[in-house]
A = this chain, B = another copy of it.
Amino acid sequence: MNVASDRAKPGAAEKPTLYKRIRLDIETRILTGEWPPGHRIPFEHQLMARYRCSRMTVNKALSELAQADLIERRRRAGTFVRRPQHMSAVLKIADIRAEITALGRSYGYQLIDCRRRAATAADRARLGVSTAGKVIAIACRHSADDVPFAVEDRLIDLSTVPEAATADFAREPPGSWLLHHVPWTEAEHTISAVVADEHTAKALDIAVGAPCLVIDRYTWRSARTVTAVRLHYPGDTHRLVARFKGG
């Protein structure tokens, strides 16, 4: 969660509580560079004196800043501004239907192929599972204002998500269905670039050899594979945007 979110709240300038004021004071000093990375910030008892409050109040402010990785706390040594981390960005990859409608464009969906089968060796390799079981393989296309937006090639592990057998993927895109029916705990994205082969070019209505952005996503639910999906986007029109903050 963004620690700075309180500041960003629109509307009235409500009187902030004391611990939030302390947290904001410290955060501001860090973000302006007044307290550079590695700087030791005042001890809790010093902040108690400065703000005339109890240690628990100071501690709450510092704990939240530590949870947000802005500071590092070391017993006996004190509390320190963290060095600039690796550049980590929050990449919002929404459900495609939500993404398109959020842009104010009309969402279209075409199911190309949907079949249920016993997992082949290739399926098991793709899902990263060793045991045999049933899977659903889906190919479909998403469009925005009737222009092809992305093609999707998905595998769902029915042993993890048996309910998926009853879902109607002709009506509802599998990504939306899964997002609303299956709590996921972890996922991994791999983003790469390819040039469109004949099959992809036809589905996206672009030229063979045109650039495509490819997203591979694996989703787990408590160590069990839920789904593996590969999405092809036209690379020249689609962009992933990641906004983030750091310290």
A residues with a Cβ closer than 8 A to B are 1, 30-33, 36-37, 56, 64, 66-69, 84, 86-95, 98, 179-180, 183-195, 209-214, 221-222, 233, 235-236, 238-247
Complex copy number for this chain = 2
Q: Is the CB of B179 within 8 A of A242?
A: no
| Nearest-neighbor residue (CB-CB) of A247 within chain B | B183
Q: Is the CB of B192 within 8 A of A222?
A: no
**Shortest beta-carbon distance, A188 to chain B, in Å?**
5
Q: Is the CB of B31 within 8 A of A1?
A: no
Bound complex: CA of A95 vs CA of B1, how far in Å? 24
Q: Is the CB of A89 within 8 A of B91?
A: yes
Bound complex: CA of A204 vs CA of B49, how far in Å? 59
Q: Is the CB of B243 within 8 A of A187?
A: yes
| Nearest-neighbor residue (CB-CB) of A32 within chain B | B222
Bound complex: CA of A35 vs CA of B30, how far in Å? 38
Q: Is the CB of B92 within 8 A of A90?
A: no
Bound complex: CA of A32 vs CA of B94, how far in Å? 22
* A186 cross-chain contacts in B, Cβ below 8 A: 243-246
Q: Is the CB of A184 within 8 A of B240?
A: no
Tell me whether A89 and B84 are in contact in the complex, defined as CB-CB below 8 angstroms, given that A1-B68, A67-B64 are known contacts: no
Bound complex: CA of A216 vs CA of B223, how far in Å? 34
Tell me whether A1 and B67 are in contact in the complex, defined as CB-CB below 8 angstroms, given that A187-B89, A193-B193 are known contacts: yes
**Shortest beta-carbon distance, A195 to chain B, in Å?**
5
Tell which of B1, B190, B235, B239 touches A190, judged by Cβ atoms closer than 8 Å. B239
